[in-house]
Amino acid sequence: MMLPVLQSTITAGGVTFDPLVWSEPLMWVVLAAFLGSAVVGRSDREWARRVAVAGWVAFGAFWLVLIPHFILTQKSLIEGVGSLAAVPLSVWAGYQLWQGRDSLFALTRAVGMMGLVYVPFLTIAPLRGALVESVADQTAFLLSLLGVDPLLVDGLSYNGVPIADKPYPYESTFWFEGTTQPITYTIILACTGIGSIAIFAGGILAVSAPWRRKLRALAMTVSVIYVLNLVRNVFIAVSFGEQRMQILPGLVMTVFGLDDPQMVSYYVADRILAQTGSVLALVAITYFLVRELPEITVLVDDFLFLVTGNEYDLAAAFDTGADTVDDAAPTDD
């Protein structure tokens, strides 16, 4: 029997559309193109360019179909704006690579490596389940240290009450009594930090640098992101479960189209505060990562160029002395 999978069906004008159904095949096309480009590039750079450009166009289509999911289903301003911006940026990256900006091969390789880290957790059920339940258990432990002790339950329902939008029956749902009806906060894959970890891991693994420093940078970023993500989960669980973020409930319910007043605390804690904090944390981690692994500035420089149209040299700005050529230095420091 197939386990239920979270759907994101949107109906408008009699037409039904599920962005998640369309995004999955596009995800595989993008991953194959970006990783294939890295392999082909070892023998034929021009064919690698063609494959990579096709991958960037597919990447733009991937984000395009996800826009309704983030804006209408998730009601996330940050993710919605991010996916909207990613569409032209992906096509622009492909165009610039086609025009001969070869430094974008590194960013192409990085996105492919990000997918290589993330996709196994998305597609391999035992791996995904182990990560989700481990993060849920650790979040429960931290909550107990704060004197907050909700039930941690499994299944798609509890006491006959369905758990809303739960994709898999893992033991990953915190059950609070609530004020008018039970409140459930479920740890899903997006709550494990693996997405952010994949972004930095892909970038670190893709650049040319001595492995000793790459592994050191990887250990630093993974551990920091993992810990910060647990703090984020605890913050949302306490804020939502104990209804501590009932700020301007009327306005929040109107802006996010909510029917249940209890959801105000969740949207304020997660969609506004936690997601904003996550963006700031990723910027701060990037700053310290540049200090630890200056070779990664080649990726940041190209990303900033795609966003602003201006050329940057962060290695010089930080005085890191980064060597941004494709070949790694023969010695470590």
Distance (Å, whole) CA 136 – CA 97: 42
φ/ψ of 197, rounded to 5, equals -60, -40
Whether residue 232 lies in the annotated active site: yes
Whether residue 191 lies in the annotated active site: yes
Helix axes 45-68, 104-123, angle to 10 degrees: 50
Distance (Å, whole) CA 186 – CA 174: 6
Whether 6 contacts 165, CB under 8 Å: yes
Chain CA centroid to CA 301, Å: 21
The three state secondary structure string of 300-319 is HHHHHHHHHCCCCCHHHHCC
Q: 109, 128, 213, 232: which is the annotated catalytic residue?
A: 232
Q: Residues with Cβ < 8 Å from 257, sequence gap 6 or more? A: 75
* Cβ neighbour number for residue 330 with a 10 Å cutoff: 6
φ/ψ of 181, rounded to 5, equals -160, 165
Q: 49, 109, 128, 191: which is the annotated catalytic residue?
A: 191
CA atoms 79, 84, 89, 90: torsion sign: positive
What is the total residue count of the chain?
333
Looking up tokens 């949302």, which residue turns up? 236
Here the tokens at position 171 are 């033991």
Distance (Å, whole) CA 91 – CA 88: 5
Here the tokens at position 293 are 């692994």
CA atoms 26, 31, 36, 38: torsion sign: positive
**Which stretches does DSSP call E strand in the chain?**
10-12, 15-17, 151-153, 157-158, 161-162, 173-176, 183-186
Mind telling me the catalytic residues?
A: 191, 232
